[in-house]
A = this chain, B = another copy of it.
Amino acid sequence: MNRILFRGAELDAAGRLCVEDRRAAHLLDVLKARPGQVVRLGLVNGPRGRGTVEAIAGRRVTLRWEPDGEPPSVPPVDLLLALPRPKVLRRLWAPLAALGVGRIVLVNAARVERQYFDTHWLQPAAYEPLLLEGLEQAGDTRLPEVAVRRRFRPFVEDELESLWPATLRVSAEPGAPGSMTALRRKPGERMLVAVGPEGGWTEFELRLLDARGFRRVGLGERTLRSDTACIALLALAHEVARRDGTGEVP
């Protein structure tokens, strides 16, 4: 935990934060907090800042919050992800937030099994703690926006353009000869990475994406599990974003 996050509603009128959950455990057991000590805090979807420990009573810690400048900018990369198996989805939430994704849209695809949509890992109450864990690791405060779409074609044909105007779009396809880092991103342009199911997008799905300007890229000849492929592709997208102008977009 590199930064302890809290929600605006947790602050009292005097700007004090009082915790007695796993954050208190981290303060007491890992950071060995003592009154007067200053620790890194962050307001979810708000600024980073400092917290000064005011009081410790048993396992309850009270901190004074001081924000530090503007909220961090939204990461320049978004993800269109064919819904993976529940176990893989569960594993992905924290690293996605840690790597930095502005928006995650989970879509259906021909090779997604219908019952995957029943998993509780699609419920905000289940995945938000994992996203927060990733943000705390990375030191960010911006929760990715998450949306779920059960129909691929209507989503691509009717919603995609308005969600992602003027975006550098990439579809990942095992074995595709295109390479992510051969792409050029205009400064400030967002990047959208579409990652298919473990069996890959169908040719029909790839053509729908082609028609919306997605460039096909691969990761070599090896077939990777969805979670490994997602982390690899996001790492490459962030590398392109950093290389081609300010990585962060306000």
- Chain A contact residues, CB within 8 Å of chain B: 2, 94-95, 98-100, 137-140, 179-182, 219-225, 228, 231-236, 238-239, 242-243, 247
Specify the chain B residue showing the minimal Cβ separation from A75: B222
A229 CB, min distance to chain B CBs, angstroms: 9
Residues of B within 8 A of A232 (CB): 99, 231-232, 234-235
Specify the chain B residue showing the minimal Cβ separation from A228: B95
Q: Contact at A138–B235, with CB atoms within 8 Å?
A: no
Residues of B within 8 A of A100 (CB): 220, 222
Specify the chain B residue showing the minimal Cβ separation from A240: B181
Q: Contact at A223–B138, with CB atoms within 8 Å?
A: yes
Q: Contact at B238–A98, with CB atoms within 8 Å?
A: no
* Measured CA separation A98–B198 after assembly (Å): 14
7 of the cross-chain contacts (CB-CB < 8 Å) are A95-B224, A99-B232, A139-B221, A179-B239, A220-B238, A232-B232, A235-B236
Max count, chain B CB within 10 A of own CB: residue among A137, A181, A235, A242: A235
Residues of B within 8 A of A138 (CB): 222-224
Q: Contact at A222–B180, with CB atoms within 8 Å?
A: no
Residues of B within 8 A of A180 (CB): 239
Interface of A is mostly: helix
Known: A235-B235, A242-B220. A225 touches B181 (CB 8 A): no
* Measured CA separation A221–B100 after assembly (Å): 11
* Measured CA separation A181–B182 after assembly (Å): 11
Q: Contact at A238–B223, with CB atoms within 8 Å?
A: no
* Measured CA separation A99–B220 after assembly (Å): 9
Residues of B within 8 A of A223 (CB): 2, 98, 137-139
Max count, chain B CB within 10 A of own CB: residue among A2, A139, A181: A181
Specify the chain B residue showing the minimal Cβ separation from A247: B220
Q: Contact at A235–B231, with CB atoms within 8 Å?
A: yes
Known: A99-B232, A180-B239, A231-B235. 15 other contacts (CB 8 A): A95-B224, A95-B228, A98-B224, A98-B225, A99-B228, A100-B222, A137-B225, A138-B224, A139-B221, A179-B243, A182-B243, A219-B238, A232-B234, A232-B235, A236-B236
Q: Contact at A235–B219, with CB atoms within 8 Å?
A: yes
Q: Contact at B247–A98, with CB atoms within 8 Å?
A: no
Q: Contact at B243–A99, with CB atoms within 8 Å?
A: no
Q: Contact at B235–A140, with CB atoms within 8 Å?
A: no
Specify the chain B residue showing the minimal Cβ separation from A231: B231
